[in-house]
Amino acid sequence: MLGRPRLYTAYRQEAQLLPTWTQKVICTLFVAVLFLLPFELPVISHIPLVRFLGDNDWMRPMALMMVLAIAALGLNLLAGVAGQVSLGHAFFMGVGACAAVYLGGSSGEETWGHSLPIWIWLPAAGIVAALVGVAVSPVAVRLRGLYLAIVTLGLVFLGIHFGNTSWGRKIAGPPALGREFPGLDVRLWKEETPLINVEDDGHWLWFDVTDLQKRYLFLLVLTIAFTLVAKNLTRTRTGRALQAIRDRDIAAEVMGVPEFRYKVIAFAVSSFFAGVAGALFSALSQRILATDFGLFLSVEFIAILLIGGAGTTSGTLIGTFFVVMVPQFVEEFTKWLDRAEGGLTEQLARFLLTEGDDFGIINTAIQTPGWTLSVFDWNIVLFGALIVVFLIVEPLGIFGIWVRVRNYWKRWPFSY
């Protein structure tokens, strides 16, 4: 089959996880690099991008990326595969985080908690979120398109307000302060020394690992597991039913796909992913804050899908990398410019940077209200601009660009 990658002689063959040998090899290498990335190794540490992504400072955004990837995969199942665009993904993340902190957090005068280990609170976060998703779906199934988007947007506001109620305060802590979240340590029950210590520096196998690296590796394993689940789901009967509903819901129903049941399933699975991701999201920052799970986070997932390419697993992962890392790159680039001395870079720095009194676009002073935005503000502007530009220029996202490039070389030297 090496010369004819598109020749399928059986359905099994077409539905394979990685149909071609090239994909198998590249995927294996890619996963291996992801695992070895944090360590100082002879070859891996010299690949251009990997070289600094493996730095300890970059482990935090990398770990955040893993968490957001899980949530984005969930939204991809709902919005990309089943075509039900939801702006309420952050709400389900918040539900998961609340369930997790209720089970895993410590109880006190102002807070409720049961101090249970991670193997209880992490699945529970997903299950509770999935149940809430099922509870919401009777409303959601009746609505379509923009009505659905706005109702799910309403869920986000209801969720944030939950942080203000007396129950919400007990679970998620005071509205502005939040509450300490249990770490990722794996315990068998409530014992002192954890079974797998993820929160402190230590020694795994024959490597010294910092706490950030540990969290990254822990989340990487989870992300790979969830990617497999998501990918497998799309190539089973359920996945095909969801795609049929996305492409034309009435036609799907005529062909015998029970629309209601499959939409509920889509909501449940997507919320499960979101719930787990929400719990991990709070665990990563070790603090749950109700206002974190707001509209901006929801839009971030929509942006991930649009930029990466909706409906495709690999596109979702690429989109997550893009959305999480581009702001980091911009920040890093600004810092690098600020330090630049002599030559073209200093001229560029003089043009771009300012400390509030001279010409420039990016303000590097600490307190920066007023014109000349800080890097953080520019990153938000860039985020909004990326959404707009991608939708206007390349609606299929980075995955679409990749498909075009691939097809060009596949047909080369012919143009079609």
Partner 1 sequence: MVGTAGARLSAVDLRKGAPMGFLIGALGASLIFGMVQLANDPALFFQTLMKSLGLGSVYALIALGFVLIFKATQTVNFAQGALAATGALFLAFLVQKRSVFTEGESVVERAGHIPFTNISNPLDNLGGPQWVHWSLSVVVALAFAAVVGLVVERLAIRPMIGEPLFSVAVITLGLEIMFRVFNNDAVEIELRPIGVPWKLDGFRVGDAFINWSFVAAMITAAAAFVAVYFFYRSRLGIAMRAVAFDQEAAMAQGINVGRVFAIAWAAGAVLAAIGGIFATQPPVEQQISVDQSTANIAFRALPAVILGGLDSVTGALLGGLIVGVAEIYAGQYAAANTSWLGAGYPLIVPYVVMIIGLLVRPYGLFGTPEIERV
Report the residue number, 7 or 254, with the smaller CB distance to partner 1. 254
**Candidate segments 10-18, 162-170, 280-288, 405-413, binder of partner 1 by CB under 8 A:** 162-170
Instruction: Return d(Cα 194, Cα 214) in angstroms, integer.
Output: 14
Neighbours of 370 (CB within 10 A): 8
In this structure, what is the dihedral angle of CA atoms 28, 29, 33, 36, given to the nearest 10 degrees?
70
CB of 100 to partner 1, least distance (A): 21
State the residue for tokens 């679409």. 400
* Residue of 145, 139, 159 lying closest to 92 (CA atoms): 159
Report the residue number, 95 or 219, with the smaller CB distance to partner 1. 95
**Candidate segments 94-102, 144-152, 331-339, 347-355, binder of partner 1 by CB under 8 A:** 144-152
Contacts of 62 (CB under 8 A, 6+ apart): 37, 53, 216
Tell which one of 123, 154, 327, 360 touches partner 1 (CB under 8 A).
154
Contacts of 131 (CB under 8 A, 6+ apart): 268
189-248: contacts with partner 1 (CB under 8 A)? 248
Buried b (16+ CB within 10 A) or exposed e, 357-366: eeebebbbee
Task: Assess 167 for contact with partner 1 (CB under 8 A).
Answer: yes
Tell which one of 52, 119, 157, 189 touches partner 1 (CB under 8 A).
157
Task: Assess 260 for contact with partner 1 (CB under 8 A).
Answer: yes
CB of 130 to partner 1, least distance (A): 20
β-pairing, 207-209 with 202-204?
A: antiparallel
CB of 332 to partner 1, least distance (A): 20
Buried b (16+ CB within 10 A) or exposed e, 177-203: ebbbbbbbbebeeeeeebeebbbeeee
Task: Assess 144 for contact with partner 1 (CB under 8 A).
Answer: yes
**Sites of contact with partner 1 (CB under 8 A):** 85, 138-139, 141-147, 149-151, 153-154, 157-158, 161, 163-169, 248, 250-251, 253-254, 260, 295-296, 299, 302-303, 306, 367, 369-371, 373, 377, 380-381, 383-388, 391-392, 395
